[in-house]
Each structure stands twice: as structure tokens, then as C-alpha cells.
Structure 1
């Protein structure tokens, strides 16, 4: 039987991720000050989505949850864009990236006993989020917060993983799967 890490890397390759690395979770920089970007509500999901602040928990709480897992699979897609400022175009690309991440998780469920995903952007399972409707989350086990909510310093992560952070004329999206290698 293949080791879990080998299976994860093979699945990432087969799904078409452009870059993927497995690293120690302790190598990831978490910077609480990034939470201010969520609070500024640039994406429009602050206090409107269960996976976003404040509902997802404090920054330190998410960091603590992530650090309970010793390993992290960093996933990246790089996609050409006509206009990086075109929100509709980039949201579609981000959605595709997150779907690829969920496909990897679904395909590895039997091997992954316990895991924690951090996605590119907020949970998009329900539209609108049940929170906006004043209802409980119907999929709490599938809800995933974004890297911004976790306060991951993504440029430092990319540098550590030796993968590009910024690509002219392209958009790079990241997600992380925190897991135990047992």
C-alpha cells in the first residue's frame, strides 16, 4: 500500500494542479493582522458566511486548529486571465480550483481519517449561505474557511514551497489540506 503522502501527491497531479507540495504545518506563517482584510469585507462575505469571520472563529483559533495537523498539502492552480480585475472571470477560476480541491479530498476520504481544508475564498456550497437566511449550516462537515480567514501569509508559503505567487497575465489560487500522516 502506498504511503498517504505519495497518494496525495499522485491525486494532485492527476487532478491537474499546477503545483503541489507537502510540508510541515509548522513551516506555514500565520499572521493575525491579515484578519483586517476580512473585516474590511473586500469579498462581501464578512458576517454573511459561516466559513468567514466572525462566524468561523478567531484567527488564533483557526491557526490552533491547523497546527493540530502535522502535515499540509499545498495546492495551486495557475490560469491565464483576460482581465485579472474581472471579478466574474476570477470567481469562476477560483470556484474551479476549489472544486478540484474537494475532488481530491473526496477521492482520498478512505485514507484521510481526519483533515482540515483551507480554500481559496469562502465556502460556496450554498448560495446564498444559510447564515444569510438565518438558518443553520446544512453541511457543517463540508464547510471550509479560506486562507485569509486562517491568516496564512500566502506569499511566504509560495516562497517556502518554491512555487510562483504572482504570475503576469495569470491568476494563481492556493488551497491547503491539513492532515495527519498516519
Structure 2
């Protein structure tokens, strides 16, 4: 298994804004975050393998996360025209997910069972197979951190990561759980 220093050497080659390693026990879980999913605030609930209810209960998500030795949270921040620039937000998300693929490859080269969590549900396929057939790309389908009930808004400052990177920027977060 990899030493954190080996992983960090590879991460410095990627356009990550900020990252931090921590223990899975430090993850802040919240049923309220999951309730937002169930309220379908983003429109992804019950429509993809990356979101509830497909990811399991909050309790099972906690168990999955705490089965790992270490975790890493990382961010990207992208300038957008303004807070209503949906095309800019989408472009930033696509770029963040491409970076998440690169980060996943780094971690999975050391731990093939690393768990990758990312943003707002999966967008790999135009139409998800959920619930009728298994996921076509399970290695590229990253469950949403919020779908796991993770309170990124509280975790970021607790881990000294910027949650908001200023006016006219969008910040996206991904998390990796792995065994060292």
C-alpha cells in the first residue's frame, strides 16, 4: 500500500486547488443533508446509482466510510460570469469530474478498492440504468458526498479548506477514502 507522501507527490502534478488528508472518523455526517436529497432538491433522488436510495442508508454509508484507514478531501474553484451563470457552473463541474477521474486513478493505483465520492450525482451516462440494470461503469460512478449524508459545508472549515473561494467562483469538492 502507498504511503501518503507517495500519493501527495502524484497529486502535486494535478490542478487541485486545496486538499487535506484526515481520518474517516472526522467526517461529519448529517441526516438533514440526506433529507435534502430525499426532498429531491437537485432532481437526482431515485434516478441514479450515485444517489439515494441506491447508495444505501446513511448508517450504511457511515459504515462504508469508517471501514477505511484514511480520507482525503480536495477542491477545485472556477471563475464564472456571475452566480446565475449555469453554463459556467456546468463547465466547472465537468472539469472537476475530469480531475476526480485523475485523482481516482492515482489512489486506485495504490488501493484498487478506494471509494471516490464527488458532486451532485453521476453524469457518466446520458440515461442511468437505475433501477432496472446494474451500473454500466461502476469504476467511474462516484456517489455524491451529500448522498452519503456528508456535511461538506461544515467539514471544509474544520479541515482548513475554503468552502467559498470568493464572488463569481464555484467550488466543487470530492472525497477519497482509502486504505494505506
TM-score normalised by L of structure 1: 0.89
Distance 1:3 1:61, change over 3 A: closer
Counterpart CA distance in 2 for 1:144 and 1:76 is: 15
Q: Kindly provide the CA deviation profile for residues 43-82 of structure 1, in whole angstroms up to 9, marking residues without a partner as x.
A: 2111111111111111111111011112101111111111
Query: What is the match of residue 33 of structure 2?
Result: 34
Query: What is the match of residue 136 of structure 2?
Result: 138
Deviation at 1:119, TM superposition (A): 0.4
Distance 1:139 1:3, change over 3 A: closer
**1:2-151 counterparts in 2 under 5 A?**
3-131=2-130, 134-151=132-149
Partner residue of 1:165 out of 145, 163, 166: 163
Count of equivalent residues: 179
- Equivalent residues of 2:107, 2:178 under 8 A apart: no
Query: What is the match of residue 154 of structure 1?
Result: 152
* Larger CA deviation: 55-64 vs 102-111: 102-111
CA RMSD of aligned residues (A): 1.8
Counterpart CA distance in 1 for 2:10 and 2:52 is: 31
Name whichever structure is richer in helix by fraction.
1
- Structure 2 unmatched runs, 5+: none
Counterpart CA distance in 1 for 2:12 and 2:170 is: 19
Q: Which 4+ residue blocks in structure 1 deviate beyond 6 angstroms?
A: none
- Structure 1 unmatched runs, 5+: none
Counterpart CA distance in 2 for 1:177 and 1:52 is: 17
